[in-house]
Amino acid sequence: MSSPRRKIYLLFAIACAALIMVMVVLAPPKQKEAPKRVTLVTSRWSGPHADYQKKLLERYSKETGVQVTQDDVAYGQLRTKQTMNMANKTGGYDLVWVLESWIEEYVKAGHILPLNPFFQKTPGFDVKNYMPGLVKLNTFDGKVYGIPTMVQTAIVAYDTRKLQEAGFGPPNTWDEILAVARHFKAQGSGIAMPVRKGMFDDNIWDTLMYSNDGGYLDAQGNLRLDSIENIKALQFYQKLMQCALRGSLNWHVDEANSQLQFGHAPIGITISGLAGILEDPARSTIAGHVGYLPLPYKTHPAGIVSIWNWCIPADSKHPEEAFKLIAWLTSSAIEKEQSLANGQLSAVNSLFNDTELRSKLPFLPAVKPYLDNPHTPLASPYGKAIMDGITEILFRVSVSSADPAEELKQLQQKMQPYFGKSVVEPGP
């Protein structure tokens, strides 16, 4: 190749290289791929508490950038919907609100994750902040599967003015509350009892039974339905129902609570989650004049508690982010805010001594004995059969002179062949 032509090629090559270098320098910088925004979906039952929690979740999203969607459904549909989603591994939920009696089933099915691995990873979280008896109910093989958040239990509420006028002090024991109930029954009212068949009657029975050192199983695991302790508890239940306010057999806790709320009943059994209504002057005729007690006991206070817990499904797409949300929702500050807003009880130890909460929710001391040593409803398939039988017995002794000892004896004989197969004695 001649020298002039070589020079032309060389100059052309230099020009092309220079052009490429200019294009590289002037080209806009490559944009980093934007991080994907985390979206969490929670599952819980609907109602006023859920409505308030939506506001909290909106705040959490603004503070953290994590989008949270709440799927709240009616209580009767909640367990079915959760189970279907987790069994089919849809990944549809990142947090599920679970009743304590469902957790063992979810654990055995592999539906939910143990939460211990997240404890150290989450700043500010300490499982010791929660009532140990409640955490224990969610612990299997040393692993914690749920963080307790909302607690409900039965309590006695009464109009302090009416009892004082009648010469009664706070009725703590079986004999004391029976005397109060008989007095007001003779005056035309009585004690409001939420004993609609199969709804809350068994909770009341369980509480009375445990308060007399009764139970379903003895220390060796033998069925003990017709023990003397249980018979005496059922005899007391029958006597108390003879003093019940007319209509009690048709009432669940909300109806019984309304009898107290509007002054129709001087004393009655309600649940902690509804007691806040009694303190609201805009809704209650007895606001400012309400006394609270654990359910009456024979030897010591005892109670059945319902505990709602936050759990993480095994197929959650964002388990670490889900636990951060659990830690935030169950922190003392947020739990206190929810308690002040709607009267719900949390499982945070320190809040039971919070001055502001005790002023707003004066029933707190009445429930504390239950939470220190909680019992839960009898579990398992055969447990359900026993409780169905107890429900029938409670109805019969409430409407007739049926013999409590004979009733329990017959149920004992009926369930004896099955008792050792799956029955689980509830807490503590």
Q: Which domains, ranges and CATH numbers included, belong to the chain?
A: 39-145+306-372 (3.40.190.10), 153-304+377-422 (3.40.190.10)
The DSSP code sequence of 291-359 is EEEPPPBSSS---BEEEEEEE-BTT-S-HHHHHHHHHHHTSHHHHHHHHHHH--B--BGGGGG-HHHHH
List the one residue out of 22, 86, 34, 88 whose CA is nearest residue 65.
34
Is residue 324 within 8 A of residue 318, CB to CB? The reply is no
- Which residues is 311 bridged to in the sheet? 96
Task: Please name the helix (run of DSSP H) or strand (run of DSSP E) that holds residue 384, with its range, or none.
Answer: helix 381-399
pLDDT per residue, tens digit, the chain (428 aa), is: 555 556 555 555 565 555 555 444 444 444 444 346 899 999 998 887 889 999 999 999 999 999 999 999 988 899 999 999 999 999 999 999 998 889 999 999 999 999 999 999 999 999 999 999 889 989 999 999 999 999 888 899 999 999 999 999 999 999 999 999 999 999 999 999 999 887 788 889 999 999 999 999 887 778 899 999 999 999 999 999 999 999 999 998 889 999 999 999 999 999 887 888 898 899 899 999 999 998 988 888 887 888 899 999 999 999 999 999 999 999 999 999 999 888 788 999 999 889 999 888 888 888 877 776 677 777 656 777 888 999 999 999 999 999 999 999 999 999 988 765 544 445 55
Amino acid at the residue 205: W
Asked whether 254 and 275 are in contact (CB, 8 A), the reply is no
Residue 326 and residue 97 in contact, taking contact as beta carbons nearer than 8 Å: no
